[in-house]
C-alpha cells in the first residue's frame, strides 16, 4: 500500500519539493496509517516530518488518552510532536454553529499555525476515498454547485491528502498486517452527526438496495466535475479585463459582464466572492441569482450577502466588498500655514501662503489656490453633511454636494470619506472634486492660500 500512496503523491504532485511537512494525527486508524506510511516514505520523498495533534476537549479523559497515544507513537518513531488544545464545543456554542463545522474551522486554524511554527510547506491530512465519497454525497444533499461535487481535492492550498485514493478497508488491512495500534473515537460510530448518518446509514442503504458500486460511481463523477471545473477556471482567468480584485474588494465591469453567458457569470461571481470572503461558505444558488439580478439594476442598488459581504452597483461597476462598520470621521482643524497628518482620513494636508500663483501652476484636483481674503475664520477638514451646498467653480449657481459627487461618478460607498475643507461660513473646496466659486483667485487677489492634499496608500 505504501507504493500506492507514493504513486498518489506523484500523480497529484502533492509534494512539489523536498522539505518539512506537518502530519495531522488524531490517533485514529486513518491518521496512524498516514503517519507510519509517510514516515516510511520520507527518505524517498526527500522530506522530514513534524506531527501535530489537536485536542478538541470534547471527550474528557478519552481525548487526553488520544493525545498521549500520539505523543508516545511519535517518540517511538523519533519524530517531533506538537500538541494543541482548544475547546471546540464552547466555540461551537458561542458561534452558534454545529460541532462539526466548529471542529473544521478550528483544525484549519491550527494547521496554519503548525505550518508557520515549524516552517513546513504543507500539512498532510488523513482523508480517504471513503471520506471523499461521503463528502460528495453530503454536498449533493445540501444543494452544492459543480465545484462542491468534486468532493475533497487531493491538494488544496496548504493541505494535502495522500490517502485520498485509498479505502478504509485497505487502511485497516495495512494496520493489521503491520501491527500498528490506533485509537477508536466512539463518537465516529454515533449517528448523531450528519457525516456519520451518511457513513453508517445512507451509503450502506444505497449499496444494498440501489447501487453496490456507488462509491466508485461518485468518485468517477467527482473526477469528471474536476475536469469541468479546470476548464471553467481557465475561462474565468480569461476575463481579467472584466473583474479586478484589489485587497478585500472585487470590481466587475457590468458592460463586459452582461455580454457573458450565465454559467460563466455565476463562476465569475464565485471567483470574486472567494477572493473577498476567503471562502464560499453559506453562498447558495439564490445568492448567485440575486447577484445576477443586481447586475441589471441602477447605480446605488445594493444587497447583503453571508459573511458580512455586500454587493453594490456603482455606475458601470458591480462591487463586492466586506461590509465595514461605518466610523464617523472626525472634524480636523487645519493650521495656516502648516502641515497636518490625519491618520483617520489617511491624508496629509499642506498649507502655505503665497503672493502670486507659481509659474508651474498645478491644476490637478489635489491642489487648490484660494483667495485668502475670502476665508472667514478658521479652516476645518470634515466629512460631508446632509444638505451641504457648494457654488462649484465655473458651473454657475448652487449645488448640493451629494449631486456634485454623483456627477463626478464617485460611488456612494466613498462619498462619506471625500474630504471637505470649509471656513466658519461656507465650503471652500471639495478636495479632489471642485473649488467653490467664492474662493477663486482673481486679479484683485492679494494673498493666496495654497492647499495640497497627499493621499496615503
Percent of the chain with pLDDT over 70: 96
- Per-residue pLDDT, 113: 96
Please state the length of the chain.
Answer: 457
Superfamily of domain 332-455: Phenylalanyl-trna Synthetase, Chain B, domain 3 (3.50.40.10)
Residue 121 DSSP code: S
Q: Distance (Å, rounded) from C-alpha 302 to C-alpha 189?
A: 46
Residue 371 DSSP code: E
State yes or no: pLDDT of 324 exceeds 70: no
pLDDT by residue (tens digit) across 9-53?
999 999 988 899 999 999 999 999 999 999 999 999 999 999 999
- Per-residue pLDDT, 212: 93
Mean pLDDT estimate for the chain: 89
What are the CA-CA distances from residue 202 to residues 134, 167, 399 (Å)?
A: 10, 18, 67
**pTM flag (> 0.75):** no
User: 242-322 domain in CATH 3.30.465.60?
Assistant: yes
Q: Distance (Å, rounded) from C-alpha 288 to C-alpha 190?
A: 36
- Per-residue pLDDT, 145: 75
What is the residue extent of each domain of the chain? 2-222, 242-322, 332-455
State yes or no: pLDDT of 413 exceeds 70: yes
- Per-residue pLDDT, 432: 85
- Per-residue pLDDT, 87: 95
Place of cell 471567483: 271
Q: Angle of helix 29-45 relative to helix 2-11, nearest 10 degrees?
A: 70
Residue of 191 and 99 predicted with greater confidence:
99
What are the CA-CA distances from residue 282 to residues 46, 156, 266, 304 (Å)?
A: 40, 19, 15, 13
Q: Distance (Å, rounded) from C-alpha 206 to C-alpha 405?
A: 62
Residues sharing a CB contact under 8 Å with residue 36, sequence separation 6 or more, in sequence order: 77, 178, 180
At 119, the pLDDT band (50, 70, 90 cuts) reads very high
Residue of 179 and 345 predicted with greater confidence:
179
State yes or no: pLDDT of 325 exceeds 90: no
Q: Which of 26, 25, 29 is nearest to 166 (CA)?
A: 29
CATH of 2-222, one of 1.10.150.170, 3.40.50.620, 3.90.1640.30, 3.90.79.10: 3.40.50.620
Residue of 52 and 147 predicted with greater confidence:
52
Q: Which of 34, 80, 83, 33 is nearest to 63 (CA)?
A: 83
Q: Distance (Å, rounded) from C-alpha 333 to C-alpha 165?
A: 67
User: Cα 398 from chain centroid?
Assistant: 44
Q: Distance (Å, rounded) from C-alpha 383 to C-alpha 421?
A: 9
Residue of 143 and 251 predicted with greater confidence:
251
Read off the C-alpha cell for 233: 477556471
Pairing of strands 19-24, 122-124: parallel
Place of cell 491518521: 31
- Per-residue pLDDT, 326: 60
- Per-residue pLDDT, 303: 92
- Per-residue pLDDT, 96: 87
Residue 13 backbone dihedrals phi, psi, to 5 degrees: 55, 50
Read off the C-alpha cell for 363: 491644476
State yes or no: pLDDT of 75 exceeds 90: yes
Place of cell 475547546: 87
SS3 420: strand
Q: Distance (Å, rounded) from C-alpha 277 to C-alpha 248?
A: 8
Q: What's the rounded mean pLDDT across residues 294-306?
A: 90
pLDDT by residue (tens digit) across 203-240?
999 999 999 999 999 999 998 988 888 888 898 888 88
State yes or no: pLDDT of 456 exceeds 70: no
- Per-residue pLDDT, 281: 79
- Per-residue pLDDT, 455: 75
Beta strands in 239-398 (DSSP E): 243-246, 249-253, 302-305, 309-314, 317-322, 332-334, 338-342, 347-354, 367-371, 379-382, 389-390
Pairing of strands 243-246, 81-85: unpaired
Read off the C-alpha cell for 440: 477663486
Amino acid at each position: 500500500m505504501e507504493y500506492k500512496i507514493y504513486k498518489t503523491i506523484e500523480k497529484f504532485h502533492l509534494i512539489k519539493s523536498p522539505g518539512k511537512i506537518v502530519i495531522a494525527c488524531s490517533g485514529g486508524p486513518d491518521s496512524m496509517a498516514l503517519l507510519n506510511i509517510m514516515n516510511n516514505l520520507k527518505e524517498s520523498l526527500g522530506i522530514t516530518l513534524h506531527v501535530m495533534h489537536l485536542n478538541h476537549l470534547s471527550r474528557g479523559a478519552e481525548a487526553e488518552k488520544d493525545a498521549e497515544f500520539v505523543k508516545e507513537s511519535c517518540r517511538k518513531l523519533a519524530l517531533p510532536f506538537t500538541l494543541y488544545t482548544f475547546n471546540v464545543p464552547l466555540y461551537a456554542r458561542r458561534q452558534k454553529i454545529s460541532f462539526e463545522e466548529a471542529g473544521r474551522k478550528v483544525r484549519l486554524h491550527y494547521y496554519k499555525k503548525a505550518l508557520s511554527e515549524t516552517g513546513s510547506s504543507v500539512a498532510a491530512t488523513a482523508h480517504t476515498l471513503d471520506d471523499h465519497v461521503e463528502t460528495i454525497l453530503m454536498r449533493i444533499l445540501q444543494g452544492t454547485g459543480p465545484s462542491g461535487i468534486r468532493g475533497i481535492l487531493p491538494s488544496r492550498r496548504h493541505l494535502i491528502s495522500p490517502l485520498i485514493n485509498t479505502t478504509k478497508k485497505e487502511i485497516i488491512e495495512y494496520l493489521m498486517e503491520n501491527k500498528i495500534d490506533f485509537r477508536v473515537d466512539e463518537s465516529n460510530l454515533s449517528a448523531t452527526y450528519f457525516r456519520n448518518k451518511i457513513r453508517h446509514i445512507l451509503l450502506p442503504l444505497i449499496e444494498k438496495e440501489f447501487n453496490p458500486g456507488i462509491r466508485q460511481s461518485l468518485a468517477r463523477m467527482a473526477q469528471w466535475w474536476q475536469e469541468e471545473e479546470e476548464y471553467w477556471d481557465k475561462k474565468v482567468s480569461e476575463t481579467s479585463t472584466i473583474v479586478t480584485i484589489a485587497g478585500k474588494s472585487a470590481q466587475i465591469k457590468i458592460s463586459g459582464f452582461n455580454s457573458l453567458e450565465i454559467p460563466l457569470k455565476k463562476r465569475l461571481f464565485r471567483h470574486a466572492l472567494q477572493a473577498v470572503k476567503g471562502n464560499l461558505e453559506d453562498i447558495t444558488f439564490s445568492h448567485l441569482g440575486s447577484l445576477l439580478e443586481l447586475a441589471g439594476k441602477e447605480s446605488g442598488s445594493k444587497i447583503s450577502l453571508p459573511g458580512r459581504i455586500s454587493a453594490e452597483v456603482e455606475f458601470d461597476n458591480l462591487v463586492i466588498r466586506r461590509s465595514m462598520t461605518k466610523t464617523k470621521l472626525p472634524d480636523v482643524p487645519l493650521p495656516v500655514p502648516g502641515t497636518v497628518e490625519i491618520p483617520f482620513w489617511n491624508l496629509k494636508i499642506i498649507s502655505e501662503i503665497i503672493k502670486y500663483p507659481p509659474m508651474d501652476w498645478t491644476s490637478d484636483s489635489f491642489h487648490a489656490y484660494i483667495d485668502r481674503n475670502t476665508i472667514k475664520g478658521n479652516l476645518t477638514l470634515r466629512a460631508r453633511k446632509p444638505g451641504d451646498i457648494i457654488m462649484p467653480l465655473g458651473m454657475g449657481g448652487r449645488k448640493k454636494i451629494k449631486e456634485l459627487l454623483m456627477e463626478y461618478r464617485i460611488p456612494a460607498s466613498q462619498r462619506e470619506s471625500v474630504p471637505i475643507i470649509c471656513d466658519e461660513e461656507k465650503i471652500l473646496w471639495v478636495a479632489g472634486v471642485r473649488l467653490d466659486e467664492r474662493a477663486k483667485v482673481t486679479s484683485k487677489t492679494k494673498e493666496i492660500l495654497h492647499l495640497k492634499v497627499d493621499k496615503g496608500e
